[in-house]
Amino acid sequence: MSYGFLAVNNNNKILITDTMENLHFAGKPTLQGNDSASENYGSFPEYGEVSGEATSFDDLDGRIIFTYTFTHSGTPIVFVKPTDYSRWHAVLTQSVSGTTWTIKVIVSGTSTSNPPILYCFVNAENSTGNTEDYGMIVYQSNGNRAFDSRYSPLAVTGGGTITPPSDPTDSAGTPTQTGTHARGSVHGWNYATLDHDFRSTTRYNSQSISGTYTNLMFSAPSIAQAVYERVMLGYKASDIPFYEGGGTQDHYSTATWWVFYRNTFRIRNGNFDAGWTNLLAGFAFSSNHEGGGWFGGGSGGTTTGTRPYNPKTINLTSNAFLIADATRYN
């Protein structure tokens, strides 16, 4: 090479080059609030009101969505530093209006305490505001800055690729539909006792990382998501008395539990985990029977939310992640 700049470390990994833009620290987004006033999905909404009982499978992991804003003309890459490393985190959405970015972060659990701290990084060319006249700037061939030592360049300490398990639920196998609306159904009329664990406590994959984990932050822009449901069809046949015309009166019921998951991440001592957190959940129940004599008419039920799509896991691809030490940018 007859021109340009290249710096490598002892492992011959590129640190600075004129052919690639480096990311530089741009600031910390401001926490605006959370959605604690709405349903946090620590359990299936309204399920207990219909079933009359709540089993251990009624429980979900729960979630809180924290909202942040950040003003910058560049496009920020967001790093998440947990303040509670036992919880799962992920950037849910990132949108912009003018130069104000709105960033929503999903965190597992139902507590609004311990919101994560976010750190934003932008390309060197988008770094502004520093008037120091010393340091080192590396320019690209088009004249844009590739590196600018005045703006705290991102120092990546680890990374790789990771994918969560395809099944987000703790019970073995994904949930199914059982029973029929006919004689011989395994579920009686109005049966609605959940038997599948929709939590994700054990459903994660891991990659080893180094460093003092309570100082670490991560960036992992995954869009993997999943929806699964458990459906129970119930049936009962009742004989109608002869003096009411005789025959059989059919009774039908349908109980449906569904959960919408997003891929989330956790930093542990020596490990980076990719798992799942429930974003939305719903329970739907219907019960009806044929008209006939003293048994005629009527139906009832409840529906909470709308299932986003048919049961499946989507966008399950190998997802890149970066690890960095947040203390460098405080």
Categorize the per-residue pLDDT at 283 as very low, low, confident or very high, splitting at 50, 70 and 90: very high
- Higher-pLDDT residue of 141 and 93 is 93
Report how far residue 275's alpha carbon sits from residue 164's, in angstroms, rounded to the nearest whole number: 5
Report how far residue 52's alpha carbon sits from residue 47's, in angstroms, rounded to the nearest whole number: 8
Q: How far is C-alpha 48 from the chain's CA centre?
A: 25
Q: What is the mean pLDDT of residues 173-189?
A: 94
* Single-letter residue type at 60: L
pLDDT higher than 70, residue 6: no
Q: How far is C-alpha 128 from the chain's CA centre?
A: 33
Q: What's the pLDDT at 295? A: 42
pLDDT in tens, 26-84: 999 999 999 987 789 999 988 875 555 556 788 999 999 999 999 999 999 999 999 99
- Higher-pLDDT residue of 142 and 225 is 225
Q: What is the mean pLDDT of residues 129-150?
A: 77
| C-alpha torsion sign, points 311, 312, 315, 321 | positive
Q: What's the pLDDT at 38? A: 75
Categorize the per-residue pLDDT at 257 as very low, low, confident or very high, splitting at 50, 70 and 90: very high
Token pair, residue 40, equals 């946090």
Token pair, residue 260, equals 């919408």
- The DSSP 8-state label assigned to residue 110 in this structure reads S
φ and ψ of 320, to 5 deg: -75, 145
Categorize the per-residue pLDDT at 147 as very low, low, confident or very high, splitting at 50, 70 and 90: confident
Q: What's the pLDDT at 144? A: 80
pLDDT higher than 90, residue 322: yes
Q: What is the mean pLDDT of the chain?
A: 87
Least confident window among 160-174, 182-196, 283-297: 283-297
Q: Which residues contact 28 (CB under 8 A, 6 or more apart)?
A: 70, 117, 118, 119, 120
Q: What's the pLDDT at 218? A: 98
φ and ψ of 268, to 5 deg: -120, 175
pLDDT in tens, 95-124: 999 999 999 999 999 999 999 999 999 988
Report how far residue 126's alpha carbon sits from residue 77's, in angstroms, rounded to the nearest whole number: 12
- Higher-pLDDT residue of 134 and 185 is 185
pLDDT in tens, 288-300: 876 544 444 455 5
Categorize the per-residue pLDDT at 239 as very low, low, confident or very high, splitting at 50, 70 and 90: low
